[in-house]
Amino acid sequence: MWIADPAGAIGRVGPSGSMSRFPLRRGSGVPFAIAPGPAGGVLFNDFTGYFEHSRELVAFGGGAARRILVLPSAASDIDAVADGFRGAVWFTDFAADQIDELTPRGELRSFAEPGANGALNDIAAGPDGAMWFTDSNGLVGRVTSSGAISELALPAPASEPDGITAGPGRTIWVAESGADAVVRISVP
């Protein structure tokens, strides 16, 4: 398991529980969200300061980090990064109200959230071949590889969904920080 350490390092927990820490070069920012990357490495977003905007996606492997993407908008803010399907990496752009996909060929595809509610938080690969994401305005959404987005409103108006992951079988689990609850979504 890989860990993004906001103290300026990438950590790795081995199968035996041993911990390795790889400090990043000074001035490289603050790693926050992390996902599996190419050749056994990882990809992470890089804040320029603690909880400031992040427009950069960085690859780490073989002991070195290299920037692979800088989003064009100064208002962009990568909040979550997830390993997608067919070698793609997906991430939420909190400030730009969009879901982005970085293809294995390095092409960036962006999909605007319908209604531009903002506050896109987490993202995860679902059991149905789509990416699922949270919007802290009480919504959970899914985006297909063709870019079709659908959303569903959670029952609690102040749910403020944050974390999301695929669970056993065909389920999606969502942490509702505003409602102090966990939601299970059954995927048909």
Does the domain spanning 77-188 belong to CATH 2.130.10.10? yes
Tens place of pLDDT per residue across the chain (188 aa): 888 888 888 888 999 999 999 888 765 567 888 988 766 788 888 776 545 678 888 888 867 778 888 888 877 888 899 999 888 999 998 888 899 999 888 899 999 988 766 689 999 999 999 999 999 889 999 999 999 999 999 988 788 999 999 999 999 999 999 889 999 999 99
Closest by CA to 97, choosing from 131, 68, 73, 128, is 73
**Within its chain, how far is the Cα of 35 from the centroid?**
8
> Tokens 């979550």 map to which residue?
80
For the chain, the domains span 1-70, 77-188
> Tokens 């997608």 map to which residue?
84
Report how far apart, in Å, the C-alpha atoms of 65 and of each of 49, 60, 131 are: 17, 4, 26
Radius of gyration, alpha carbons of the chain: 16
148-175 core/surface letters (b: 16 or more CB in 10 A; e: else): ebebeebeeeebbbbebebeeeeebbbb
Res 123: pLDDT: 97
